[in-house]
Amino acid sequence: MPTIEAATSNASGDDGLWRAGWYRFAKALQSPNFGPRPAGAQTDLIVLHSISLPPGEYGGDAVQQLFANQLDWDAHPYFQSIRGLQVSSHFYVRRNGELWQFVSCDERAWHAGVSSWRGRENCNDDSIGIELEGLEGQPFDEAQYETLASLCAAIAQHYAIAFIAGHEHIAPGRKQDPGAGFDWQLLRGQLGWSPRMFPEQVLPL
């Protein structure tokens, strides 16, 4: 699958890890499914998702193909149920920890849909979306947490991140990912972030 170079080294916001919103340590494959963030938007939220295509099957390239609008809708019966879908995420973390990026974090990816968090609607406008290869409710692999933690830390160094939540939290009743199999306490311990940054639902009693 063809990849792109993130951006030139003299792009605005180049700090060694980031080039115009592209993360140095991710494999880059540009999605056409993005747009500009609204004027004045403050990117302060990370949203975690889970995805696998077909559901529960890992290791293929269908997710990358979906985000790049290159998925063969006839390749699997499940794909007919999402035929024509145009979505994207900023990042995708595979089971082995491999990291992909599809949209510059300076741009608006299409990952959240109808959503609300911290008193604001339309979370796509001011969030960074991270997809984890997995099935909602099922556990994730150690390598994914390692990549996710380092990625979140790098994002927070470059953007004013104040919150992190799951798709299930910003779109309750409509979405259920990453689900009960995701270990929020493990991630919080790896990051060392304040409990105030996390959804109340995932904090210990």
* Residue positions annotated with a catalytic role: 131
The tokens describing 27, both together, are 């494999």
**Cα 141 to Cα 107: distance, rounded to the nearest angstrom:** 29
- Nearest one of 83, 110, 108, 88 to 29, comparing CA atoms: 88
The tokens describing 57, both together, are 């099957």
- 119 vs 116, 122, 174, 181, 203, CA distance in Å? 7, 10, 18, 27, 20
Strand locations in 115-204, DSSP E?
116-117, 120-121, 127-133, 163-166
Rounded to 10 degrees, what is the CA torsion of 111, 122, 120, 162? 30
**Cα 169 to Cα 1: distance, rounded to the nearest angstrom:** 33
- 148 vs 31, 71, 135, CA distance in Å? 21, 25, 16
**Cα 90 to Cα 105: distance, rounded to the nearest angstrom:** 6
CB-CB contact of 165 with 45 (8 Å): yes
